[in-house]
Amino acid sequence: MDSKERIDQQILEKVKSLLESLDYGTVQITVHDSQVTQIDKLEKYRLPLQKSSRNTR
């Protein structure tokens, strides 16, 4: 593999860790000049719907 095909093991471990800790959401990897420059994690929390007493008849 040449240097453009190599991914730092630390980056792979970070991505793996983010994925394992995520129930709902996205992990976005930003690449610039063939190098990972940023990793973003957007986590979503799902809330249960509550029954409204106004809508029951």
How does pLDDT run across 30-53, given as a tens digit for each residue? Answer: 999 999 999 999 999 988 998 877
39 closest CA partner among 20, 53, 19, 23: 19
List the chain domain ranges. Answer: 9-43
Average confidence (pLDDT) over 11-17:
96
Tell me the pLDDT of the chain averaged across its residues.
Answer: 87
pLDDT of 51: 86
Q: Specify the pTM.
A: 0.68
**How close are the terminal C-alpha atoms of the chain, in Å?**
68
* The residue count for the chain: 57
d(CA 17, CA 12): 9
Sign of the CA dihedral running 33, 38, 39, 45: negative
pLDDT of 55: 59
Which position has the higher pLDDT, 22 or 51?
22
